[in-house]
Amino acid sequence: MKKGLFGWRGLVFQMLGVVLALAFTSLVLLVAKGDPFAAFINILRGSLGSIESFTNGMVAWVPLLLATAGVLITFSAGLWNIGIEGQITLGAIFTTGLLRLLQDSSLPPAVIIALGILAGPLGGAIWAALAGALRTYGDVSEIFGGLGLNFVATTLTLWLIFGPWKRPGIGSMSGTEPFPERLWLPFIGDLRLSWWSVIIGLVAMLVVFIILSNTYFGLKLKAVGKNSRAAFILGIPTDRYRMLAFIYCGMLGGIAGAVQVVGVYHRLIPSISSSYGYLGLMVAMLVNYNALWVAPVALFFALLNIGSIQLPIVLGLDSTLSGILQGALVLFMIMMDGVRRRVFHKTRRSDL
Amino acid sequence: MGAAKPVNVELKHIHKYFGDVHANDDVCLTIASGTIQGIVGENGAGKSTLMKVLSGFIQADEGEILLDGRKVVIRSPADASRYKIGMLHQDPLDFPSMRVMDNLLIGDGGGQIPNRKAVRQKFLELQQQFDFVINPDDFVDSLTVGERQQLEILRLLMQGARVLILDEPTTGISALQKEKLFATLQKLASQGMVIAFVSHKLEEIEALCQRVVVMRSGRVVGEAGQPYKVDDLVRLMFGKVITLGKPQHLVGSEEVLTVSNLEIESPRLRISGVNLTVHRGEVIGLAGMEGSGQVLFLRACGGLLRPIEKSKISVNGRDLTHQPYRKFLDAGVAYVPANRLAAGLVPGLTLADHFALVEESQPFLIAKDRVNDLTRRRIETFNIIGTPVSRVEELSGGNQQRALLALQGTALNLLLIEHPARGLDIESTIWIWGNLKERCKQGAAIIFISSDLEQILQYSDRIVVFFGGKTSAPLPAEEMDAEKLGQLIGGKGL
């Protein structure tokens, strides 16, 4: 298996990458006439300052974990499933649709919630299968196909919110009519976090880790990703494996969408995917596709997101600062990995 | 080119380490202007390393390089190019999706706006001198390997190369192109160029080189001038005498493969009306210049390429015409491509991963211990230098080929191989063929492509010659010799 970015030898370089990312973000802040120190303290306080803020971070962690687990599968098959965003959205749409359908029925709420959570992966899988079919049978790059389908998914959400599923009276950007509380995943005490979503996220991650590190299916996916021509000649049905990678990834994205509906927003909102798909692609790259590191790194990213929510109010800075920091982290850490390899192995392009 | 100043090359006490491997161990070599210097040795002897040091692709850990007695430091291929040292690699380093002209301009380096007219003129003049016929407006990927090599030589000459390094240049080119190459090299040497010719084929050294050094395990173990005593060179290369042994014929009576009326169309070539029946234990050699249709034929036999309508292919009596590749695999057909890392193995995966991929019983989880045991056994049987956790790209070419063969199932009906011993030394070649003949004894039939006539004559039972899409009838190998075969390959009598 590939060594992660976090091998003991690279630790120093990784820390250097973090320092550079912080320095870069500070520079951006200075240009924007902000106080970097105050901003970082604020992010820290906003994410780790209280049990509420930390569990809010964990609320963001679950969908990010699911999205990252999904794209690890497609990355293994050599695919850039940027359509994960749309797959999350479709998951949320399917879950909302099913809950709307059953909310007035006599079924026990727990059954309705369970069916709702199962509808999510179905929606995500269908959307992913579309991108996969375009790629496998239509020769459309999954990046373009996925991006296109993301736009369609967003439009579909807006149409539902302002059309068939609009609130009684008038549709609004705040989403569809919230579901009654009995159809919510149970919260822990007064917190906004549910044990159920944490369990779903961790189990999904564990399953993906086992699939990729220890199963024939995962090994074959990797073979397809690294050299599909050789994989085909060795007898692996490459088209089928690519399709399966899309579908499994879509299912995980769909579960993320379902959790967003039953565990967080309790309705369909316009930006239900919250860019967790794109963020998941970044986390996957940052951990060098090593499933073991996804959970902690994803938690870190989720906390950054939550921590910067307060920035506009307290410091008058935009909350997208966390995005700058996350992007800078990915870039600088990948760069430092390249530097490390140059220093230690002295490999040069010409040797390859 | 003609005006290039003569130069003498001296390599002094070169050391190069790769990890624990001492790839070059105190190597000294002097090549005088106007000499074609042969450098021989088995795979992994350190020949390519030495040449890469001279051409700036890698740097020596110790030692120095002198040009005309003056010490130079060569840090990169760009440095080498400045000292007019050019290297022709085993695989041509060109830009396949661009035109010939653009390839020439890339190396030209003359200001921002290239002088197309002058470059074209120079190219055509040079090409005439050496009797090459390459259209400057063709796309590089439409050229044969031999033509790409010619293009590369011309490009290096246009840059004013005075030292030309060739690393196994005859791999993958036709006999005719080889003759042309040798004539070109002799002409260049007579103009005062230094030519370093790396090979493990002694007959080429004999035909071409005025002097030769033999390398083994990173050291120079011997040096000789014309005329050579071939037996001495072999003993120096391997530390012992090697003979090919008598051809073995193991043809059975049962039919394994029947091809009738095979017709294939590709953008460049059309093959039609091929009929061939192959029996258990039989070895069929496909000879011909590169790109004459052998690969298309072999791929059609393996189910990787769909022939046209009326063609018929059956394996073991089962009709597989137009069936998907999967069905061919199920029928016990295996295909071994020539380009090991691009089409045969999966770089980034380990040997154990590879053996797991082709395991017969595949439950959900991989039993790592069992796979490792299996891998260790195969490593031992197939004489692979590596461990279960070695990634395939870390293995040497010979070991990659052994691994590729080890991956093929044991109860095969038909084994199709492109260039089974391309780039391998005699010892590895003999080993590989010993293994293949063992499979024949177990009932497999083999069809293979090779540009090495000696190999085709030695190991085939029957030979099919391809020329421009036309094929000969299957010819019994005993009735053939290199000369007859060479004529057929050149299209005479076909």
Phi, psi of B492, rounded to the nearest 5 degrees:
-85, 125
Amino acid B115: pLDDT: 76
Chain B residue with minimal CA distance to A344?
B19
Q: Which residues contact B357 (CB under 8 A, 6 or more apart)?
A: A216, A219, A220, A223, A231, A234, A236, B346, B349, B407
**So what's the architecture of B9-238 in CATH?**
3-Layer(aba) Sandwich (3.40)
Superfamily for the B255-332+411-489 domain: P-loop containing nucleotide triphosphate hydrolases (3.40.50.300)
Given a contact cutoff of 8 angstroms between Cβ atoms, the answer to whether A278 and A320 are in contact is: no
Do B220 and B65 form a contact (C-beta atoms < 8 A)? no
Contacts of B345 in chain A (CB under 8 A): 227, 230
- Cβ neighbours of B16 (radius 10 Å): 22
Strand pairing category for B163-167 and B85-88 = parallel
Nearest-CA distance A173 → chain B (Å): 46
Contacts of B77 in chain A (CB under 8 A): 350
CB contact under 8 Å between B342 and A2, yes or no, is no
Q: Which pLDDT belongs to residue A352?
A: 31
- In chain B, domain spans: 9-238, 255-332+411-489
**Residues of B whose CB is below 8 A from A219:** 349, 353, 356-357, 366
Q: Which residues of B touch A214 (CB under 8 A)?
A: 365-366, 368
**Cβ–Cβ of A222/B364 closer than 8 Å?**
no
Tell me, what's the pLDDT at A183?
92
Give the type of residue at B101.
M
Q: Which of A217, A222, A233 sits opposite B344 (nearest CB)?
A: A233
> For residue B336, what is the nearest residue in chain A, using CA coordinates?
A233
Which residues are paired to B287 by β-bridges?
Answer: B465
B357 in contact with A at a CB cutoff of 8 Å? yes
Tokens of B374: 């299996």
Cα–chain center distance at A159:
24
Residues ≥6 apart with Cβ < 8 Å to B243: none
Give me the average pLDDT of each 10-residue run along chain A (352 residues). 52 85 90 86 88 92 96 95 97 97 92 96 97 94 95 96 88 87 89 92 96 94 95 94 97 97 94 92 86 90 87 78 85 85 56 33
CA atoms in the 13 A half-sphere facing the CB of B47 = 29
**Same CATH topology for B9-238 and B255-332+411-489?**
yes
Please tell me the predicted confidence (pLDDT) of residue A71.
96
Chain-chain contact of B366 with A226 (C-beta, under 8 angstroms): no
Best B52, B335, B346 residue to mutate vs chain A (most A CBs within 10 Å) = B346
Q: What is the pLDDT of residue A315?
A: 78
Give A26 to chain B, closest Cα distance, Å: 38
Shortest CA distance from B324: residue in chain A:
A237
- DSSP SS3 for A23: helix
CA distances from B9 to A112, A250, B35, B256 (A): 83, 62, 10, 56
B78, closest residue in chain A (CA to CA):
A350
A·B CB contacts under 8 A? 69
Give pLDDT tens digits for B411-454: 899 999 999 987 777 788 888 999 999 999 999 999 999 888 88
Cα distances (angstroms) measured from residue B321 to each of A108, B258, B304, B417, B458: 58, 11, 11, 20, 32
Positions in chain B short of pLDDT 70: 1-6, 19-20, 90-94, 107-112, 172, 240-243, 493-494
Q: Rounded to an integer, what distance in angstroms lies between the CA atom of residue A116 and that of residue A109? A: 10
